[in-house]
Each structure stands twice: as structure tokens, then as C-alpha cells.
Structure 1
Amino acid sequence: MRGGTVDHSETTTPSAEPSGYVGRRGEGAEVRRLLGKARLVTLTGPGGVGKTTLATRVARDVAHLFPDGVVLVELAEVRDGALVANLVAARLGLHARSGLPAGRQVIDHLRDRALLLVLDNCEHLIDSSAELAAAVLAGCPRIVVLATSRQSLGVAGEQVLPVPPLPIADAVRLFRERAGAIVPSAFDGQDEEAVLAELCGRLDGLPLAIELAAARIRSLSPGQILDRLTGRLALLTSGRRTAPRRQQTLRAAIDWSYQLCSSAEQTVWARTSVFSGSFDLDAATHVCADAGIAADDVLELIDGLLDKSVLIRGRQPGVARYQMLESLREYGQERLDVTGDRHRVARLHRDWFGGLVARANEEWVSDRQQRWIEQLGSDHANLRAALAWSLSEPGEAGRALRMAAYPVEYWLLRGLAGEARTWLGRALAATPDDHPDRGDALCMYALHTLWMGDQEQIARLLDEAEALAEKNADEVARGRVLHIRSFAAILTGRPGGVELAAATCAIFRAHGLVHAELHPLFIHGVSIAYRDGDPAAARASLRRMYDLAAERGDLFYRAMALFGRATVEVEFGDITAAADAATEALRLDLRTGDQQGMAYRVDTLAWIAARRNEHERAATLFGIAGALWERIGTTPEFAVNLPHVKHTAATRAAIGNTRFEQAYAAGRALSDAEAVRHALGEPAPASPSAADARTGILTKRETEIAGLIAKGLTNRDIAAELVISQRTVSTHVEHILTKLGFGNRAQIAVWVVGRAGTRRAQL
């Protein structure tokens, strides 16, 4: 199964026209040409020259050439080079895999795929970015990398394309577009081409500098903007003559924009630079408001910075979110350093997101669960920044223990168990043994480690957590240890899981901890069914779990309870009830974006199909599940060993190895949308795919030649194969390139592979 699922989609190319894409037709064509002949293309240039805009536009234009889509990874949101591979893995929708570092998992996932990987803003993580790019190029022959950076990556085979400033004519056009969007009558009846040309020349054609200047059109005419810019440039670039002139110009433009802000706007600019990625108004108010800036004034000040192009309004639906370009963010942080306010503001930032995580955990089992999934996902870059700050500041690491531990469901659902484990490991190493949150952190660290398969380390972690619980006479803490022990028992097939889960449920129930009781109820229900053959006891635990979750509006644990019911019924009860439960669980997973849950549900639907003697369908579902298991970093033999092995064997025996492998491969080849429809038993849409639409463009002979090109044959080889002249082959190749709108043979090969994938998906 290719691509991503729900909010883990691999194809992340923007669908809307990028802001500021003016005058880049030539550069765009050159990037496309380089992508046709090289597997690593790096766009370089100073901040504000438009590298990201060019890269995202080109990625959108060439997306159809890559069967597995485009993955955009914005590296500006991380500051730790060790997290580069984790961020790429997260963008691919991968969960941490047992025993493998994130980089290795990325390589394994991409090895047989054909996609464009866009690494944006590499300069501050240049070594880590170069290392990952080199590994991808070496291990994944059909992956193409497009990077943006203020310097080249220095990787063998890299094609570097410096992105130049805009020519004056295009710079003027950009200024007119931006200024006209603010004040439509800004140029009515005015012959200001000479003024605009000089203004844009002063700004060296840098798109960011031009947009900052255009934002002043509300209060100044173009001539007035030029007058002020001309006088200020000489002043503001003095003392920086060792810097390249374009960097001086951008710096001057930012300095000028900063000086044109009110004092309060300047303060908010500096303070909001502490955010990583995007942020909302509530977070900004917490960080920015103080004795000098009233909380009620923050919105107006944010609005002023939006008007001045210092902040950008995000396009996502729901709550408005704001973002700052990296150059402006760096500038704002410099201002925080100048005023000595950086530490205080960073602490406020950490406190806000620490509180956010705490509220999310408190309200996880509620009708606000989806909101928290979306909120934490939107703020994940800020969570990383808050955790990093806590671990870098003396005496603050304790706050990281709880931030990285809860809500544990978020880390698992987003496929970030490996990252959570990393943060917890760092926090545990940096905090004293008697910290009050250490026991919980040890249990959560053990839970994430459980997925890595390190049983010896799990035992040590839980022994330490249990000793702390006994020392503090903390029964709830002891219950958390028993919970992880019971889960480890059921996953590894060791005895005692039923009794441990029952004891855990009793402790949490006695303390009224509904959230904590839910997963142990699942463990008890499934384990008692399979160990004791007691479906009645299993149904009772799973019914309580479902009812507790449903009463509170929870989706995550409702889906898990339904999955538990399906596993019980498929072995001991009503196969129709099993199918209904598994299907409903999958629909809930789609709402929360839980890929881990989806792997379990689809595998269960395969068992059900096998029980119904629908063996072709079962094999296809096993293929769909196989791709999901791979993505979440585990195997069905580990996660659902006995029933998976049993029903896989039955399916193979029923249809034979050849038919099983064909159906299994067809399931793996399905796109995410097709895979979901197949699992739910829904019909495919009537409209043809893009690949099918293009297929009809070529004649039968051209299609045949395109297929031979994809096999690596030269024109001479094709001529010999088809017993025609090389000249005829050359003519056909030119016709193919023209009809498909391609520039080289490599693009033809990519298209053929994508077309084959589409056909497999329709089996």
C-alpha cells in the first residue's frame, strides 16, 4: 500500500499557488531539467531569495512523475540534527521500528518506492541533512531529493542551482501584486515605473525584501517607501560591510520593517520568534502579554504584524494559526538576545506547551479527543522546542519527564514512539532518582521500549519503577507497573497476563481512574479469551471498556474495544459480529488517523475473510495490512501472532502459494484510498485515474516502446527488439516525450512504473 494514510499522507505538495511565485519560469524549467538527470538537486541562495517557494512550486508541477508522490519535510522546525531522520520518518507516516534507528527505517521504507523527497531549509542542520540525503541516494534507487539550503550539501552527484534574485521587471511585478492586494488603487493614475524599478533595484530583487516593502503601501506611496529605504540603507548596512551585499540588503529590509513597527509590535515580533513552526492566538497571548502588553491587545498586534508581512496566516481550517519566515524568526530571536528577554520568553513558551500536554492528557478520554489530536499534531514542532529547552536548562529537565510521557496515546497514534523514547531517555538521564514523575516516565519509557523488543531493558526499567512505587507507598504507581508487565506478557506470550491485567484494572477502578483502566481492560479481555477459552469473560471486560469510552465521547479506545471484540468473535463466536466490530473500528481509526490501529483492524478483517472462505480477499487484505505493519515499524507475528499465523496458513492452503502471493502483492500495491475502500468493502469511484487518462494518449507502438525504455533499453536495443530502424525508434521517442510533456527518458520510465502500479491496484 503506497502513500500515507489520513494525516500521514506522503504526498504533501501544496495544492494552492505558492505566494510570491513571480518570474521564476526559467528557474522552474531548469530545476525540472536537473531533476530529470540527477537524483539530488539543491537550490541555494541567501535567505529571502525564494528557494522554498521555487521548490514547492516545482514539486507540485512534477508530482505526477512520481508514482509514490512528493514528501515535503520542513527542517526549520527542528534544531537538533539527531531529529532529522525522525522528522522525515514522521512525514512518511512511519512508526519507530524495533531495533532500527529512524534513518535506517526511512531507507527501508523508501527502498522500493519512487517519490520526490523535498528537504527544505537544510542550512542549520547541514551535516545531518547531507548524511541522510547520501544514505537515501545510496539505498533507494528510485528516490529523487530536492533540497533548499543557504549552502550546498556536498554530497556526491549533487546538482547545485543558485537561485538568483528576481530581474527588475519581475521584481516590480511582484511589488505591484503584493501592494495591489493591500491597496487596490495604489497605482491608479500614477506613472511610477521608474520609481518602482529603482525601489526594487535597491532591494536587489529579493522577494522577501520586496514583500516587506510592499506591506508599507497602506501608509506610504511607492516614492515615500523609496525615500525612506534609500536613506536607511546606508545607515543600516554600515558596520556589516564584510557580509555579502544581498545579505546586507535583506538585513536592511528587515531592519527597516522592524523600525516601522510600533514598539508593541516590535515586542510581539521578538517574542513570537520563540515559536517553532506555527502557533495560535492563545499561545501567542500567553507568551507575549505582560505588564506592558495587555492580553486583549495581542490580537490587534498580531493583526498589525500580518499586515506588515512579518507573520503569515496559515491556510488550515479551524483555529487560525500564524507562522514566521525563518529569516524573520532569526531576527526576532536576535532582538530577544539584545533585550536579555530570551530565557524568560522561552520559559513561558515551555510552560504553555507543558500545560497544553497536561490538558490533553486530562481530556483525552472525552469528546475533545479529536481536537487534541489535531492540536498536538499542529504544535508538535513547538513541543520539540519546549522539550529541548527544558533539557538544555539547568534544573528544568524534570518538566520534560511528564511532557514526553503523556498523553502516551498521542505519541503512539502519530507513530512517534521512537521519538518519545528518545526524549524520555534524555530526561531520565538528566533528573534525580527521587523526582516525583520518574516512576511514570520509567513506565512509559518501558512501554515504548516494548515495541523495540528489548525485554532485558524493559525488566530493568519496571523493576526501578516498582521499587519507587513501594518506597513511596504509591498504589497507583504500582498499578502502572503492573499494566506494562501485563501488556509485555500478552505480546511475548509469557504467562500471567490475565492476572496482572485484572489486578491493574482493580487498582485503577478503586481510584476512579477511568483513562488508566481502559487499556488494561483490553489486555484482560483478549488474553482471557485466548488463554482460557472464556469468551463470556472477555466480552464482559471489552463491553465495560467500550461503554466507559463511549460514554465520554472517546474514539481511540472505542476502536480498540471493538477490535478486541472482533478478535474474540472471529475465534469463538459470531463471524458477522466480528466483521461489524472490525469495520466500525476501522472507521473510527480513519477519524483519528490511527495507523497503528488500522494495521490491527485490517489484519483482523483478513482473518474474517479467511473464516468466510473468501480467500482471495483475505490474501489481498493481508497485503494491505502488511504495508501498514511495515509502516508502523513492527510485524504481525509480534503484534497478533497466533491468529495471524493461523489464518495466513489457512489462506495459503486454500488458494496455493502463487495465488496468495499475487493477491498479497496486489494489496500492497493499492493506494491508501483504494486500500481503505477495499477493506471496508466499498466500490471504487467511476472516474479513471490520472495514469489511465494519460495512457490513451499514446499509440500501441508508443506504449510498447515506453515499456522498453522503462526496462533500460537504448534506442539501438529497442530497434533490435522490435526489428525496426533506430531512426524510427528515435521518432517514436520524440512523439512520446511530446505527448506526455516530458523532457527525458527517465521521466518516461517513471511514468511507466506508475501506470503499472495503478493497474496492479485495480486487480
Structure 2
Amino acid sequence: MTSDSDVRRRPLTSYVGRAEDENEVRRLLGVGRLVTLTGAGGVGKTRLAAQVASSLTRDFPGGVAVAGLGELRDERLVPRAVADSLGLHDKAGHTDLDAVVAYLRPRRSLLLLDNCEHLRDGSVGLVTALLRDCRDLVVLATSRCSLGLAGEQVLTLPPLAVPDDEITTAEAALTFGAVRLFAERAANVLPAFEVTEGNVADVVRLCRGLDGLPLAIELAAARIRALSPSQIADRVEKNSAVLASGLRMPVERHRTLRATIEWSHSLCTETERLVWARCSVFAGQFELSAVEAVCAEDGGLGSLAVLDAVDGLVDKSVLARIDGTDKVHYRMLRLLREYGGRRLAASGDELTVARKHRDHYARLIAQAADAWFGPGQDEAYERLMAAHADIREALSWSLRAPGESSVALEMATGTIEYWVARGAAWELRDWIDRALDVAPPETQGRARGLAIAALCAALHADLPRARRRLAAAEAIEDEDAAPYIAHASAFVRMLSTEPNSMFRAAEAVRLFGERGDVRRQMHPMFIQGVALAYRGDLPGARALLGSMRRLCEEAGEHRYRSMALFGLGVAEVCFGGDLDEGERCIRAALEIDLRASDVLSAAYRVDGLAWVAARREDWVRAAELFGTAATLWDRCGAEPDVAVTMSHRMFHQATRDALGEGRFQAAFAEGRRRNPHDALSGPPSVPIGEPAMLAPLTPRESEIARLVAAGLSNREIAARLVIARRTVETHLQHISHKLDFVNRTQLAVWVEQRDAARGPL
């Protein structure tokens, strides 16, 4: 299971234990199906929930999923966030909630739903449906208030324990969580720091003054490079006293946290305060280029000043640094973002900054569209993935702001391939539909938007809606929309097995070609090629799909190249062509998909290799490959749709008939246990079983730990295991919590020591 949450994106810092609280959460999870951790912001709900969830993987064989809602500001996207955490693609004829329920219903699973308070209605609706329809599901939620559902077990999380006045030694003080957290975080900033007999009284005074709130302690610890514990404690006490007279808050620790944040803000330079406020517009993680786009001013604040401010905010723990493969990203904890947002609103710059934010992500989408058909495709995809929360925010703002709906429509229709690859075509369809609903009838690009909306509806086999959108597009006299209309029409006709799909696809290919838009020629070319094979023109199909393949190779593009290869394979295997050549094409397509961790495409390709085996009457291998493909379909919550139903059903049934039900099910089950890479090399030479476990890790975590020890990157691990990269990151987060490691080197050394002690496997 995967995660797109705040939990996954937090840095790998050590966890200061809350043993009693952990045990109580585990106890409650054993007696109820919904446990909600409540408490003030900054008290550590997310961290405790993640720690508990990562320790319970053996109790939930169906998996532990972590879905963070902190980046969302739209109730409608709550089910999508959970679907993303499970790695599910959206599915024809099903909502995101339907897909999540279908996946979780047969499994005993734990779902951690983090940061529910600002999306309470959406969270309540989701949890109600899941607990009703998924009998073996347990939900652990974090929220500043309870969800208010029947049977909910609520645990209000207290701050970390702090010493009383009688504690006077460093050794005794460090047995308290608040002091230990301050000591560890301060040592991260100033490695020479430690709690001693000389400073223990001031450290205790400081932790007491901060009421043991983890976030407040971390913010205070960030000042240790410039101030002593005594100086920090003095300033905390002074700031708290000043603020107390102006605050009327029912819970004392709310005042303490507010005072600490205000104090951190007061210690920032004027430029840092400005950048803090403006960065509050970001919903998720962001690059430096995004900060510069939002914060820099012509003739005012320059890029170098912005960089210095970012560096200062990282040093003060206002911004968290996230190290990626080749780029650094930043993110802001939600409480600090909320505070910055209030400052931004008070400044009067909120509208200007929001528009700069939207414009930056509109440019990002346009740049991705330009780079998609070429060697920059992977980088474009990764940048959009990392920016997804802010793309959503930019779209949402454009729909709310008067006169901006046309930009939302342009953004939503800019790179449809990204949304499909992400498995979120339904979400794209929703954004386009919402933009069309609020855009004036005369909006430029409306006909094109309607045609792309029709294409999205067809992707979900919603053919009636697709036809309505097509009719609306055709009713608008807009020559610019003609190739888009032809493309959508061809796809709708192909899915409904109507005549003339080939001719409409050829029209789209011609019109896009006249505009030099090779990227948008690709899918219509695939439709036309398969339609030619279906009509018996195998030479024509080979020529067209071969041309598509060459265009992709010349451009250095791989996703459409995989599609072209698969089309060639289908033509050869299913329409009387060269079986060996068909197998080579499908295998080559699968190799591309496995490198890209494209699970949905890989499912089609492995299914196609099962057809090849069935054509050869290698029935056992066919059944095994159908089993491997079924595992892939399940991983992304999909199934062979109408585009391949005919071939899939024909070969699947032939295999079942040839083997008989018992032998078919045995081979099918064996295939389910195999890695899709085995489809490229034949059956494995030794039986596939679970990897030797490295307690306390699960089998999958053990497998990933060994790959880390072997020097593989997250991307390479994802490709090897055919899982999403965000799934790898989630597993590594769980491993870090279990083993209290902060980097990959520690993990690699630990694995080598454990395996050496175990001896030869």
C-alpha cells in the first residue's frame, strides 16, 4: 500500500517514544474499528499514529495504508486521496469510493487517515461508508476534534511528559519525553550540544514553559546555534507573558504554541517573514523555482534574496527540506502554513500571491506538455507528481476567482497523459467538467475542452456522456477543436464497436499532423492501426503502428512507444499475424512499462503474453500469466476493459477449458505469486516464496531493505518490484520508524549485519 501523505513526506528524524500512548492506541485498535487521536495542533498526533501503524503490519495482512489529507482543501477529493494511498487507478463505471471499497472489502487492513479536521464532512462520509462495507477494515484517524461517529474510540493526546521541579540531574531529566526531544533536535542543529548538569535546569524550565508540545519544542531547539537554553527559556517566558493578555483561548497549550510560533516569527528577518507568508499559499511540497515565482518581485525582492530567506527559514525549522533524487523540495507544516496564511491575508497581497502561484503551475503544465513527447518525459511526469497538490490548489483557485475559469480549462486539458498515467482520469474529467460549468459560453477553447471531456468519459466507458459532450463540441464552430473532436469520436466509436472509427482516427492523425502536433497524433494513430487489423488489413496495421513506433524512437519517447509496440503485438497475435513477432513486441512493451513502474500498462502487456502462450497451447504458462496479470490489475484497481475484452475473454476461456478448473486455478494462483519480471524470462528456476524476514520488518519491508543495501535507488526498487515509487517511500518511512534510523547507510549496514549473522540463505 502507498501513501501520498504528510507522514510520508516528513524527514527521517528519530522518534521520541510515547510508550504509554502507543500501548493505549494499540489497545483501542483491538477493541474498536475506528480510533481517532485528537489534541491540539503540534501535539504529535501524526507522528504517534504513524509509529503505531508501522508497528502493526503483522496484525493486518491486508496491508497498512496511510492517506494524508493535509494537502487537500476540497472535500470531493477525500476518497481520491485514499485511492492514491492504495495505488489504485480510477476505474470505468466506478467512483473513487467504489474502487477503495472494492479493494479493501476482502482484506483485513488498517487505514491511517491523517489530518481530518479541515475536511470533516468528507472524512465522516468516507469512514462511514468504509466501515459499513469493509467488515475487516480498521481506521486510525488524526484530527483536532473527533469525527462524532457511533463506536468511535477517542484518545486525546497529551503533550510530552515534562519534569517537575524536583528533577535536578541531566540523567533524570532525559527520562522525560519533552527533554529528550529537545536534546535530540538541538543536537541535530548543534552536534556538540548535550544536556548537562550545568544547563539541565534551563532545559527543564524551557520544556515546562512550552507545555511539552513537540512542535513548540522543535521550533525552540532550532535556535540553539545562536542562543543558550537559558536565553531561549527567557525569551519563551517573555513572549508567552506578552501574548497571554491578548489571547482568549480555552486551552492553555494552544496559547503556548501560538506564543512559540509568534516568537519564531519575531526572530525572522523582514524578508524571511515575507517569504513565510507568501509560501503559505503552497498546499504541498514545492521547489525553489516555485518559491521564486511566488515571492520574487520585479524591482524589489530578487531571487538571491528569496534563496537567502528560504535558507534562513529552513535553519529555523519553519520550512522542512526534502531531498529528492536530483532536486530539493520544501514543505511547511500545516500549523505554520496557517499562521503564514493569516499574515498573508493581513498584508493585502493574498490575491496577487495566489495568482502568481496559479500562473507558476499553469506554466509547469505547459512545460510538461512541451516535454512530454521526448526524452524529458520522465522528468516532466515526476515534476507534475511532486506538484500535484498545488496543481489542484491552482485549479481550485481559478474556478473560484472571477474571470479565471478559462485558465482552469487550459490547465486541465494541457497534459491529459499525466492524469491517465497517474490513474486519475476521473479527477481530470471532474476538473474539466467544473471548468466548463463555470466558463462563459464564448470562452475560447470551450469546444476543445468538451472534446477532451468526451475522451475522458470514454476512458471510463461512460459512452452516453461522451456522446453528449461530443455533440456539444460539434455544435460550436471552432476549427481549432476539429482534431480533438475527431480523436474523441474515433475512441467512442472504437469502444462501442461502431463503424468509421478508423476514418475518424485517420482524420485526427491528419489534422494534428498538419499542425505539427506529433504528440497528439499518437493515440489516434494507435486506434487507427488496431482498427485496420480488425478490418483484416494486417499490412496496413503494421505500417501505421510501425510508423508510430519510429516516431517515438526518434523523439526519445517511451510511453507511446510502449503503446505502439503493444498495438503491433495485438495485431500479430489476435489477427493472424506472426506469433513470434507479436510476442517480441509485447515483451518489449512490457520492458518499458516495468522500467517506468507503469502498473496499469504492464497489466495489459502481461495479459497479452498470456494470449501468446494460449495461441501456442502452452496452457499452464498461459494460466500463470493470467494470474500474474490479475495481480497487476488488482494493484491498480482495474480490469481488462472493453478495449481488450474480446481477446482477453477468448484466450482466458480457452485456457480454462484446456486445463480444467482445478489445474487452471492452481496455475493461476502460482502466477499470482510471481513477479511480473518473470514474464520476460519464463518461469523462475526456483519456487517463488516470501523473502526471508528481517524482524521486525515485514516480508515486503525486508525485500526493500535488502535492495537499499544493494545500492538501488527508490526508482530502481520501484521498477524491480513493479510498484509505485511512492509505495517504496512509504515502506522506507515505516522501516525508519521501526528501526529508528535516519538514513539509508544505517539501514544498509544493519541489513548486512543481520544477513551475515543469519549465514547463507
Contact 2:606/2:676, CA 8 A, preserved across alignment? no
More moved, 116-125 vs 476-485: 476-485
CA distance in structure 2 between the aligned counterparts of 1:427 and 1:410, rounded to whole angstroms: 18
CA contact (8 A) 1:413 1:593 kept: no
1:372 match: 380
Deviations 1:208-235 (A, max 9, x none): 0001011111111111111111111111
Query: Residues 361 and 406 of structure 1 are in contact (CA less than 8 Å); yes or no, is this contact kept in structure 2?
Result: yes
Paired residue secondary structure (2:647)? helix
> Which of the residues 136, 146, 149 maps onto 1:155?
149
The answer to whether the Cα contact below 8 Å between 2:249 and 2:255 also exists between their aligned partners in 1 is no
Distance 1:568 1:611, change over 3 A: same
| Root-mean-square deviation over aligned CA pairs | 2.4
Query: Contact (CA 8 Å) 1:451, 1:634: kept in 2 or not?
Result: no
CA distance in 1, matches of 2:548, 2:423: 24
What SS does structure 1 have at the residue aligned with 2:83?
A: helix
State whether structure 2 residue 106 is matched by structure 1 residue 112: yes
Q: What does residue range 181-220 of structure 1 map to in structure 2 within 5 Å?
A: 181-187=188-194, 191-220=198-227
For residues 597 and 374 of structure 2, the distance between their equivalents in structure 1, rounded to whole angstroms, comes to: 17
Map of 1:172 onto structure 2: 179
CA-to-aligned-CA distance 1:74-100 (integer Å, 9 cap, x gap): 101111111101111122222222332
Provide the secondary structure at the position in 2 that maps to 1:29.
helix
User: In the TM superposition, what is the alpha-carbon distance from 1:633 to its structure 2 partner?
Assistant: 5.6
The letter of the residue matching 1:293 is L
Q: Give the distance between the partners of 1:429 and 1:680, measured in 2 at CA.
A: 51
Q: Deviations over 1:551-592 (max 9, x none)?
A: 111111010001001101113222222222112212212233
The residue that corresponds to 1:51 in the other structure is 45
Give the 3 Å change call, closer, same or farther, for CA 221–547 of structure 1 in structure 2: same
Distance in 2 between the 1:676 and 1:138 partners? 38
Larger mean CA deviation between 597-606 and 61-70 belongs to 61-70
Q: Which residue matches 1:22?
A: 16
DSSP-derived class of the 1:423 partner: helix
Q: Which residue of 1 aligns with 2:239?
A: 232
3-state SS, counterpart of residue 55 of structure 2: helix
Using the TM superposition, name which of 277-286 and 482-491 deviates more: 482-491
Match of 1:293 in 2: 301
Secondary structure (helix, strand or coil) at the match of 2:442 reads coil
Deviation at 1:620, TM superposition (A): 2.7
C-alpha spacing 1:682/1:35, structure 2 compared with 1 (3 Å): farther
2:554 paired with 1:551: yes
Query: Is 2:451 aligned against 1:467?
Result: no
Is the Cα contact below 8 Å between 1:555 and 1:592 reproduced in 2? Answer: no
Specify the alignment match of 1:439 in structure 2: 447
Separation (CA, whole Å) in 1 of partners of 2:7 and 2:70: 17
Change (3 A) 1:583 1:355: same
Contact 1:490/1:497 (8 A) holds in 2: yes
1:411 alignment counterpart: 419
Of the candidates 87, 91, 95, which is equivalent to residue 93 of structure 1? 87
Q: Separation in 1 of the partners of 2:9 and 2:671? A: 28
Q: Secondary structure at the match of 1:118?
A: strand
In 2, the alpha carbon distance for the partners of 1:466 and 1:14 equals 45
TM-score normalized by the length of structure 1: 0.85
Deviation at 1:241, TM superposition (A): 2.4
Which position in structure 1 is the counterpart of 2:755?
A: none
DSSP 3-state at the match of 1:240: coil
Which SS does the other structure have where 2:516 is aligned? coil
CA distance in 2, matches of 1:380, 1:677: 33
Q: 1:553-572, aligned counterparts within 5 Å? A: 553-571=556-574, 572=576
Q: Is the 8 A contact 1:11 1:70 kept in 2?
A: no
Q: In the alignment, does 2:267 pair up with 1:223?
A: no
- Whether contact under 8 Å (1:12, 1:72) holds in the other structure is no
SS in structure 1 at match of 2:70: helix
Alignment partners' CA distance in 2, 1:560 and 1:329: 42
Distance 1:17 1:79 in 2: 23
Inter-partner Cα distance in structure 2 for 1:13 and 1:114: 22
Q: Is 1:494–2:494 an aligned residue pair?
A: no
Match of 2:246, SS? coil
Q: Deviations over 1:349-394 (max 9, x none)?
A: 1000011001111111010100111111111000110011001111
2:369, 2:195 → 1: CA distance?
Answer: 56
Q: What does residue 689 of structure 1 align with?
A: 690
- Which residue in the other structure is 2:365 paired with? 357
Instruction: Check whether the contact 2:451–2:481 (CA below 8 A) recurs between aligned residues.
Output: no
- Range moving further from structure 2, 422-431 or 90-99: 90-99
Higher deviation after alignment, 311-320 or 251-260: 311-320
One of 116, 121, 129 as aligned partner of 1:127: 121
Q: 1:313-368: per-residue Cα shift (whole Å, max 9, x none)? A: 12432210111101001000000011111111111110000110011111110101
1:35–1:144 contact (8 Å) kept in structure 2? yes
Point out the more displaced range, 342-351 or 611-620: 611-620
Are the counterparts in 2 of residues 674 and 684 from structure 1 also a CA contact under 8 Å? no
Q: Is the contact between residue 11 and residue 320 of structure 2 (CA under 8 Å) also seen in structure 1?
A: no
Paired residue for 2:278?
Answer: 271
Moved more, 255-264 or 170-179: 170-179
Change (3 A) 1:172 1:633: closer
- The amino acid of 1:580's aligned partner reads R
Residue identity matched to 2:652: T
2:626 is equivalent to residue 622 of structure 1: yes
CA distance in 2, matches of 1:11, 1:114: 21
* Contact 1:38 1:158 (8 Å CA) reproduced: yes
Q: How does 1:239-258 map to 2 (within 5 A)?
A: 239-258=246-265
- Residue identity in the other structure for 1:135: A
| CA contact 1:14–1:56 (8 Å) conserved in 2 | no
Shift of 1:522: 0.8
Query: Is 2:178–2:217's contact at 8 Å kept on the other side of the alignment?
Result: yes
Distance in structure 1 (CA, Å) of the matches to 2:510 and 2:481: 13
Could you tell me which of 499, 514, 518 is aligned with 1:514?
Answer: 518
Deviation at 1:637, TM superposition (A): 5.1
Q: Deviations over 1:474-524 (max 9, x none)?
A: 2x5211111111111222211111111122212222222111111111111
- Structure 1 match to 2:173: none
The alpha-carbon deviation at position 62 of structure 1 amounts to 1.5
Partner Cα separation in structure 1 for residue 555 and residue 577 of structure 2 = 28
| 1:667 to partner: Cα distance | 4.1
Residue 375 of structure 2 is aligned to residue 384 of structure 1: no
Out of 64, 67, 74, which is 1:70 matched to?
64
Query: Which amino acid letter does the alignment assign opposite residue 554 of structure 2?
Result: E
SS in 2 for 1:218: coil
Give the whole-Å Cα distance in 2 for the aligned partners of 1:315 and 1:129.
Answer: 31
Question: Paired residue for 2:290?
Answer: 283
Between 484-493 and 332-341, the greater mean CA deviation after superposition: 484-493
Larger helix fraction of residues = 1
Q: Counterpart of 2:539?
A: 536
How many residues are aligned here? Answer: 682
Residues 526 and 564, structure 1, Cα contact 8 Å, conserved in 2: yes
Residues of 1 paired with 2:7 and 2:75: CA distance? 24
State the distance in 2 between where 1:522 and 1:647 align: 22
Structure 2 match to 1:757: none
In structure 2, the residue corresponding to 1:434 is in which secondary structure?
A: coil
Structure 2: how far apart are the matches of 1:331 and 1:597? 43
Asked whether the equivalents of residues 413 and 595 of structure 1 are also in contact (C-alpha less than 8 Å), the reply is: no
CA distance 1:632–1:225, change in 2 (3 Å): closer
SS in structure 2 opposite 1:395?
coil
**Does the Cα contact within 8 Å between 2:113 and 2:142 map onto a contact in 1?**
yes
Partners of 2:643 and 2:223 in 1: CA distance: 59
Worse-superposed segment, 319-328 or 431-440: 431-440
**Amino-acid identity (%):** 46
Tell me, in whole angstroms, the C-alpha distance in 1 between the residues paired with 2:552 and 2:679. Answer: 28
Tell me whether 627-636 or 612-621 shows the greater mean CA deviation: 627-636
Q: How does 1:664-679 map to 2 (within 5 A)?
A: 664-668=668-672, 670=673, 674-678=675-679
